[in-house]
Structure 1
């Protein structure tokens, strides 16, 4: 690798993306997607065929922490199921009968409500965190240490 970089005068730098606040969320999302794929596949060889369905299911399921689906928080409306295109649902029929100007105005109103939905999801998330903290603190046993008692102390590397 070093020789190729020297030959083409490429400056190669090793780096890794590190976002401590987000890595846990990404790992949790990946874990959930792997669970969904695991339930959908018969053998390990056909997982790539089910990936799009698993992602669709993940994006359209309601999160306990926000009380909304990720799709609705991004686009301001719930996702339309593929079956709704072939067999029109009430929502499809209502939108198909709207004139273009009315549809644009309705969509604009929906987009204006996205911020409100996101703020509501943030509030819901904060309440969820408080409930989780209260549940955790309920199980934690308070301990008191006095001067002269022996305790184990973990020393972190610098």
Structure 2
């Protein structure tokens, strides 16, 4: 059954791709047909149904990939946050070099997370599904939520570790563990 749907989607995409460059974002989002000809409206209605089918298939295919990317980003942020805490809590030598390297790694992970979120936001497929303008960045609630969940905690941990504020909270617990 899955192979049949994949073949049907492939056939529809091969046929629809010829007309996609002619449709702007307003037309692609289901605006009323502009022509007065009944034949043109029927062709547009068929095209709308076919595009909805292709969009559903694309979402079914991409949803697990986005879930996996989200978990990978969460684990990268958690790992670099834990590394930052470890580098600041234990007396490694040379302390400044390790601290600079760790802060650089935190900045690199933050930059990659923000870059990936930005590119996803500009993606034509995601823009068509979320009804935003393809190829343009738009500050949507999905981008803000993902940024707050993935990048902001890492920024908070880095700022707290660099200022020493978190150290004053964590040191009593570490003393108990010793």
Normalised to the residue count of structure 2, the TM-score between the two structures is: 0.27
- Ranked by relative contact order (alpha carbons within 8 Å, sequence separation 6 or more), the top structure is 2
Higher helix share: 2
